[in-house]
Amino acid sequence: MSNPLTRATPVVRSATGLIPTISGRGGGRGTHLVQYLIVAAVAVFLVALPYLGVTKFQIGQTTTILIAAMAAASVSFLVGEAGLASLGHGAIAGTASYGMAWAFHQGWDTGLSIILAIALTLAVSLIYGLLTMRTSGIYFLMVTLAIGMLIYGLAFRMSSVTGGDNGLLLQRPEWINARENWWIFYYLVLALLIVTTLVLWVVARSPFGASLRGVRDNESRMRSLGYSVAGYKVAAFMISGFVAGISGVLGAWNTQSVSPESVNVETSILLIVMVILGGVGTLLGPLVGATIVILVKFTVSSYVDRWQTLLGIVFIVVILLAREGVVGSIGKLTNRIRKRRAQRAAGEDVPEAGASASNVSHT
């Protein structure tokens, strides 16, 4: 599978292998079962977590991580399948959060609030999509950055609606309140994470996903074949935005507050960091990346004053040495080991690293 981070390197590489990817490429016969077993194991672990003697606070932290993982997954989808690195998803998720908070203050009931929040998010995603559909690469990044800044400015300025720099406070619905039903909220978040990951996975493996990857790899060729490149990009943005919106709704409930920080550039940057650290386009990457970033930001920072430096250094190291992220690198490594073992078993010479017939590879 082509990862925009590893493309254009002289040696052809595959970023997958043992760890399942969204588009399910890579690996040979039998690895699929192992891949899915690993994912299942993680899922079962998360389901059982509250019963493993973990404290309420730790479940709360895990909830935060899961919500971040959902947002990161939406970014990962866009980067991995469409090759579009967006610095605007903080604003998109944050829009949903603002929608929830505002509706709460108007006294709307939960269902209507959610509908409003998602509708707003889809509208914003559409705007993003329309404004960026003719751009790609660096220009795409800049446009998403610009729109994100504008949304931040709006959140700040439209203070009678958004509460300005103070933001808005809200409350969770009674059935997931923070006092006794925090574990119900945890399961809700977990269930939604699994569902949204599944949705993205299904989309990636569908014909739409294949065409999207075609657009990512060679726009002009797809255009000459008659595909509406802009249409695919906008659609990808909307799908990604929808998932980000759900994470925004959950995020608003999680902290019971929303403020301009939810939509600022730093949030979007942290999402990209999560995606890269975890591994673009992998199924578990967003979760791994979210875990690392959230733990450094919230937990390590209690013990290390210079945690921002630490985060920056980790990020730099990953970009330099393990661009496929944690999950992707593990996949690459295990893949290489398997191939060498298989080839040795077959009595052949060990081939050059990376080149393989059973791996799908692109330039």
The nearer residue to another protein, 117 or 133, going by C-beta atoms, is 133
Per-residue three-class SS string for 184-213: HHHHHHHHHHHHHHHHHHHHHHCHHHHHHH
Report the site for another protein in 272-291 (rule: CB under 8 A). Answer: 272, 276
Closest CA to 233 of 124, 101, 133: 133
Asked if 4 touches another protein (CB under 8 A), the answer is yes
In the complex, the smallest distance separating the C-beta of residue 80 from another protein, rounded to whole angstroms, is 12
Give the contact letters, 27-66, x = binds to another protein (CB under 8 A), - = no.
-----xx--x--xx--xx--x--xx-xxxxxxxxx--x--
Binding of another protein by 157 (CB under 8 A)? yes
Residue 183 binds to another protein (criterion: CB under 8 A): yes
- Only one residue has tokens 């299942």, namely 40
Q: With left for phi above 0 and alpha for psi between -120 and 50, is residue 179 left, alpha or beta?
A: alpha
Collapse the DSSP code of 108 into the 3-class scheme (helix H, G, I; strand E, B; otherwise coil) and give the result: coil
Q: Is 95 among the residues that bind another protein (CB under 8 A)?
A: no
Q: How many residues bind another protein (CB under 8 A)?
A: 96
Shortest Å, Cβ 352 to another protein: 21
Q: Which two tokens stand for residue 207?
A: 């014909």
How many whole angstroms separate alpha carbon 312 and alpha carbon 60? 26
Q: Per rule CB under 8 A, is residue 315 in the interface with another protein? A: yes
Axis crossing angle, helix 325-345 with helix 265-278, rounded to the nearest 10: 10
Name which position in 153, 231, 342, 351 contacts another protein (CB under 8 A): 153
- The kind and range of the H/E element at 127 are helix 110-132
CB of 124 to another protein, least distance (A): 14
Instruction: Decide: is 255 part of the binding site for another protein (CB under 8 A).
Output: yes
Between residues 32 and 344, which has the closer beta carbon with respect to another protein?
A: 32
